[in-house]
A and B are shown apart, each in its own frame.
Chain A
Amino acid sequence: MELPYKQYFESMPCYLTVQDRNLRVLDANRWFKEDFGEIEGRYCYQVYKNRSDKCEVCPVERTFRDGQRHSSEEQVRCLDGSMVSVIVYTTPIYNDAGEITAVMEMSTDITEIKALQTQLRQSRQLYQTLFEEVPCFISIQDRDLRIIHANRLHKEAFGTFLGCKCYEVYKHRNEECYPCTVRQTFEDGQTYSHEEVVTSIQGKTMNVIVHTTPIRDANGEINSVVEMTLDITQIRQLQDKLTSIGLLISSISHGIKGLLNGLNGGIYLVNNGLQKDNRDRLEKGWEIVLRNVSRIRSMVLDILYYAKDREPILDQVSIAELSSEVCSIIKGKAEEQKIEFICDTEDNIGDFEVDRQAIRSLLVNLLENSIDACRVDKQKSDHQVRFKISSEEEDIVMIVMDNGIGMEQETCDKAFSLFFSSKGNEGTGLGLFIANKIATTHNGSIHLKSGVNEGSTFTVRIPRLHSTNIESKTEEQK
């Protein structure tokens, strides 16, 4: 080799060898010799790979065969035992007759690149696992709010709708939401979080907290926004429950204070009646005591029913027997208040499949409400509470009707709401809520018709046979 070429050959920053047809190394540059040792009488595969036979696929052999340049990736072992990844290029060397006499092999060390590639692959796998398996819904959206990537949980909950608009998938609507935090993140690059209610493809409504974060390209431009959505439905339900308990305690303590005051009043009249030997006062006081004790008892039963979420214990119940039982409870209370009580049960009405205790408590609750509505009515002197049970197709219809104070439309609308009471200090707002709950758990309904000073009519409709397929509903109308 001529001197200048020899110098270039030696100083090239890669491994350079010249090999004959038998893969014997004829010449090698300084880098090669430093890392692989002397070449005298040695073959390529011995030097590079410490093998006794040539490799199955050899780019040098291929170049000898077809005169073309070839390349391959190889792993070679240095003198110190370290493994080096190389990319190999081969070039034929011709004599004056145009015959290939040798092949020059150039091997470039790509160990660092290979290591970076491995790291990149591993971090991609890690990112992929995190993206797919993190317990929240993740979507990546473009400027048109189209979902361009979504994780597994997102696809399971909202379907595979890549390319669809975010609001179509999350909210099944045709227009962009306002305000849209993804849009805001695109505009100012800030992260946002807010609460939303979304619906899954299974129709499940979820309370979610949504976080948006920008994704920037190499120039710092925002090209997409990642939306991470966490299902917080259970937390919200728990909060609602805790709020309900707080309201319940407040409502109960308020109710109990009123009842204790009434009870004290009764005791005052009884004591005073005894001291003054005034029988009228004593009887009046005792009546107040009994009434308030009975109210405390009802309140405690209501609280217990509310506190315990229970399924109805179904039984074949004789309607006539249940009606007679309820009437005997109410009759005395009506007589005390000089209210006429009429109980009318259809002949041979038979049985129905209900939770006896629950339906009994529902009817007593409605009838006691009617007695109260008559008791506090000062507009009329004659009061009447009517209780009628009849059958209508597949349903048993129970009507409780009074000519008491009645209710305004607004009161009617809220009558079955939890903690709503039109009775001031006397009510806890549990009675009608529980009555309605009992009716709906029996696949039935309660219909309320009322007017101020006109009285109220509650119509309870319960299927004779309990069936979970019948959709229950409650109507509240004037």
Chain B
Amino acid sequence: MTEKKTILIIDDEPDTFTYFSTLLEDNGYNTVGAENGDEGLARVKESPPDLITMDITMPKMSGVKAYRTLKEGEQTKSIPIIIITGVSEDFKEFISSRKQIPAPDGYLAKPIDENEFINLVKKLTSS
């Protein structure tokens, strides 16, 4: 039996965390939560997950800063990240305009399509 993969969900909205964690657990994943970028980075440091889903608009450290920190860290840059936010198009444009920051592995706009989400998670955690 293969070991369950762990997904870190960084989102300030508790309902979103409940939703994503239930959905992912129903699809055979372990989940860990963080309410903001700061807390997310601490969780990654404690135990690197197999994939991160991250919101952009959050109190304290925003998703943009957390994303940049993760992609610049030697230990963390290989962890796939899916950006899931209501402003994903703006974020996509922002990242594309800055060539030195690598593009995220996936973008999803809220409200998400469950099948699309799970398929993307499967694809990014299969390698």
Contact = CB atoms under 8 A, between A and B. Distances in A.
Interface of A: 253-255, 257-258, 260-266, 268-269, 272, 281, 284, 288, 291-292, 375-376, 378, 422-426
A424 B22 contact: no
29 contacts: A254-B57, A257-B111, A258-B86, A260-B110, A261-B13, A261-B16, A261-B19, A261-B110, A262-B13, A262-B15, A262-B19, A263-B111, A264-B111, A264-B114, A265-B16, A266-B19, A268-B19, A268-B114, A269-B19, A272-B22, A288-B15, A376-B35, A378-B35, A423-B59, A424-B58, A424-B59, A425-B13, A425-B85, A426-B12
Contacts of A255: 86
Contact of A258 (B26, B110, B114): B110
B26 A265 contact: no
B55 A424 contact: yes
B109 interface: yes
Contacts of A264: 19, 111-112, 114
B103 interface: no
Contacts of A425: 11-13, 16, 55, 57, 85-86, 110
B14 interface: yes
Interface of B: 11-16, 18-20, 22-23, 26, 35, 55, 57-59, 85-87, 109-112, 114
A268 B22 contact: yes
Contacts of A422: 59
B18 A265 contact: yes
Nearest to B85: A425
Contact of B110 (A257, A268, A288, A292): A257
A424 B26 contact: no
B13 A260 contact: no
A272 B57 CA distance: 29
Nearest to A269: B22
A375 B86 CA distance: 22
In this complex, which of A258, A260, A422, A424 has the most chain B Cβ atoms within 10 angstroms of its Cβ?
A424
